[in-house]
Amino acid sequence: MRSSFSVIFFVLSAVVRTGWSIWCYRCVGSHPGCGMYDFDWRYYWSHSCPEPDDKCVKVIEEKGAQLMVTRDCLSYLEGHRRDIPADRYEGCRQAAPDPFLGHYIFPSVQEIDHKREHYSKVTFCFCDFDERCNSASSLSTNVVLMMLLSLLVTFTHL
């Protein structure tokens, strides 16, 4: 009975891949300490992103001299932003144009920005390798350690 349990544990530990999630800052530039040049990490602790292949994103929206910076996980931004560029590798890219955004909307209140035309330049900066924007690491050494321990338990009880 013990040997069959050890074999099952060994097989499961060999098959299951686990890893830490990526940690990103989450804040909006209208909050104090979350601007483009005055970011203060003491105000905003990092949060764990829910997806295993997530990235940290900094969205820089510019209109003249006005800047709005948003820092968040990519999986949280994908729910409500349609202008995220398709190329999501490390680095900064311009927002993707969406010609159908607000296409059939004729609002009576002009202050509501349905077409997202308020900011003249929107830049998405992605990072998942820099230690300052995340601390993701793999647990592959722990999986190997679990496999060795299960082998040890299996062969000591035979």
| Per-domain residue ranges of the chain | 1-19+137-152, 22-135
- Bigger pLDDT: 142 vs 46: 46
Task: Kindly give, in sequence order, each residue whose CB lies less than 8 Å from that of residue 130, ignoring residues fewer than 6 positions away.
Answer: 90
| The model's pTM | 0.65
**Residue 71 is encoded by which pair of tokens?**
């820092």
The answer to whether 127 and 133 have CB atoms below 8 angstroms apart is yes
- List C-alpha distances in Å: 146 to 7, 46, 80, 81, 138: 12, 29, 41, 41, 14
Report the distance separating Cα 102 and Cα 33, nearest Å. 33
Confidence of residue 9 (pLDDT cuts 50, 70, 90): low
